[in-house]
Amino acid sequence: MKNSFDEKILEEANDWLNANQKVVLATVIQTWGSSPRQVGSRMIVNETGDFSGSVSGGCVESAVVRECISLIKDNKPSKKIEFKVSNESAWEVGLACGGEIAVYLEQIN
């Protein structure tokens, strides 16, 4: 059975919106191989780059923050991004663990 352990990210997103911040919700929608966070893991990002929650073990969060900020700037509703195994030249946006993940970004407004 699926457990009900929940990280209360949606509740935090609501608090941010009530404080008039722009919020992008990032959700892990697919994983392949060994990935640190399971499908459904979430992170929120505001227009200044503050973030809460996680979609990996710290491997791709910085890239997700950048993507979320540009989504707000470009005023786009949503976007899907994939992260693959890292290599030395692109260590910052890869998963050191060797897995792959797809993350869905959506603005809440």
Partner 1 sequence: MKHSQLKEIIKKKASKIEFAIVTNLENGLSEIYEPGKSLSKEFEIHKEQIDNFYKLKKNGVIENTEIFIETYIRPIKVIIVGAVHIAQYLVDFAKSLNFEISIIDPRGYFASEQRFPDMKIINKWPDEAFKEIETNENSALIALTHDPKIDDPALQHALNKKFYYIGALGSKKTHENRCQRLKEAGFKNEQINSIHGPIGIKLGGRSAPEIALSIIAQLVSETYKK
* From candidates 25, 45, 60, 68, binder to partner 1 by CB under 8 A: 25
Do the beta carbons of residue 34 and residue 97 sit within 8 Å? yes
Under rule CB under 8 A, how many of the chain's residues touch partner 1?
A: 27
Token duo for residue 56:
């990996």
Interface with partner 1 in residues 4-23 (CB under 8 A): 4-6, 8, 10-11, 13-14, 17
Residue span 30-69 as binding mask against partner 1, x where in contact by CB under 8 A, dash where not: x-------xxx-----------------------------
Residue 70 in contact with partner 1, rule: CB under 8 A:
no
Is 77 among the residues that bind partner 1 (CB under 8 A)?
yes
